[in-house]
Amino acid sequence: MNKSEASVVAVARAAHHHFTKPPCMSIRIVAGLGVEGDAHSGVTVKHRSRVARDPTAPNLRQVHLMHEELFAELKAEGFTVAPGDLGENITTCGIGLLALPAGTRLHIGGSAIVEITGLRNPCSQIDKLQKGLMHAVLGRDANGNLIRKTGVMSIAIASGDVLAGDTIRIEMPAEPHRALEVV
């Protein structure tokens, strides 16, 4: 594998609603549902606060992806974060997830495809992992706009197994591109 190409670093899932997800050897993406065996898998919302608001809303958060480069940034600030610690299903490297537009499709491994729906909004539970981490995963751009660094959410378009080392191919959506918003 070429170090400069986009790839999967690790995969994780949790059958129950926990903040962190234990890394595993592989995950199965199931079209229309998300990660098989994960608490957030399903057609309708599974995140507890969203279920409380409207349990019939579509699940735009089936698969959570986070860039490994964030871990190095956090390490420089004194934090120790590893794959799965922030609840992501797929840890990536070599891809600027936060800069991709909504609707971008990521072809992962041999057959899995996910479509990015928006940004993950970090919650205060992050500080339970390590005090001050919530502040560290937020930033400001040159115009003072809030930057959420905790990855992107997506829906499962095509089924397939995903494991560390798999390559990721980016398929951009038709223009005009829509910037990512919190989902």
**Domains of the chain, residue spans:** 7-171
18-25 average pLDDT score: 94
Average pLDDT of every residue of the chain: 95
Instruction: Please check the confidence at residue 137 and state whether its pLDDT lies above 70.
Output: yes
pLDDT per residue over 60-106, tens digit each?
999 999 999 999 999 999 999 999 999 999 999 999 999 999 999 99
- Per the structure block, which two tokens stand in for 19? 């903040």
User: 73: exposed, middle or buried (C-beta count within 10 Å: 0-12, 13-18, 19+)?
Assistant: middle
Alpha-carbon gap, residue 116 to 129, rounded angstroms: 26
Alpha-carbon gap, residue 114 to 122, rounded angstroms: 21
- Write down the pLDDT at residue 10: 98
Q: Which fold has domain 7-171?
A: M1 Pyruvate Kinase; Domain 3 (2.40.33)
User: 124: exposed, middle or buried (C-beta count within 10 Å: 0-12, 13-18, 19+)?
Assistant: exposed
Among 22, 18, 6, smallest CA distance to 92 is for: 6
Q: Is 82 helix (H, G, I), strand (E, B) or coil?
A: coil
133-152 average pLDDT score: 95
- Write down the pLDDT at residue 1: 46
